């Protein structure tokens, strides 16, 4: 049995404003470069107005519906106390809290153990384009 080791990294993501941005390919490339077959990948989105989700990767309409639902459930005109960073800031915090900023994914047989229809996304909740960072940790052998 190969000895366990770990690797850490940082993934930079450019977002176009409010959107689900596919990050699965970049993440898989970084994982492959660490040369492990079995292990555990952890991702942390280092922001409070963007988040991470694992969601349907086939039908683009699903992503539109997810974003529209988040806008409806945490709207811009929500009578928030915190409004000094623009009307889209506080709802972005709420949407990020709901969807979460950390994910852990087993690596099995050299591949992330995601299901067939599962894609990996950074969710940008602000209206404007942003530079985002995801911290990566891989444990394995």
Binding region for its own copies (CB under 8 A): 1, 3-6, 8, 38-40, 42, 44, 46-48, 53-56, 59, 61-62, 64-66, 69, 73-74, 78, 80-82, 84, 90, 93-94, 96-108, 113-115, 117-118, 133, 135-137, 139-141
- Please identify, using beta-carbon distances, which residue of 4 and 32 lies nearer to its own copies: 4
Nearest approach, Cβ of residue 58 and its own copies (Å) = 9
CA distance 137 to 79: 38
The residues that bridge with 55 in the sheet, in sequence order, are 119
Q: How far is the CB of 69 from its own copies (least distance, A)?
A: 5
- Laid out side by side, the sheet with 130-140 consists of 5-15, 130-140, 39-45, 102-108, 111-112
User: Smallest distance from the beta carbon of 46 to its own copies, in angstroms?
Assistant: 3
Cβ contact 41:31 at 8 Å? yes
């Amino acid at each position: 049995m190969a000895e366990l080791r770990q690797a850490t990294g940082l993934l930079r993501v450019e977002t176009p404003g409010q959107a689900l941005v596919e990050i699965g390919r970049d993440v898989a490339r970084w994982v492959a470069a660490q040369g492990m077959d079995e292990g555990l990948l952890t991702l942390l989105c280092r922001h409070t107005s963007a988040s991470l989700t694992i969601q349907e990767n086939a039908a683009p309409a699903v992503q539109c519906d997810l974003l529209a639902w988040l806008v409806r459930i945490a709207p811009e005109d929500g009578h928030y106390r915190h409004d000094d960073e623009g009307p889209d800031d506080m709802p972005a915090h709420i949407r990020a809290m709901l969807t979460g900023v950390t994910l852990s994914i087993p690596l099995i047989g050299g591949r992330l153990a995601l299901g067939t229809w599962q894609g990996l996304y950074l969710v940008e909740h602000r209206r404007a384009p942003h530079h985002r960072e995801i911290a990566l940790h891989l444990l394995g052998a």
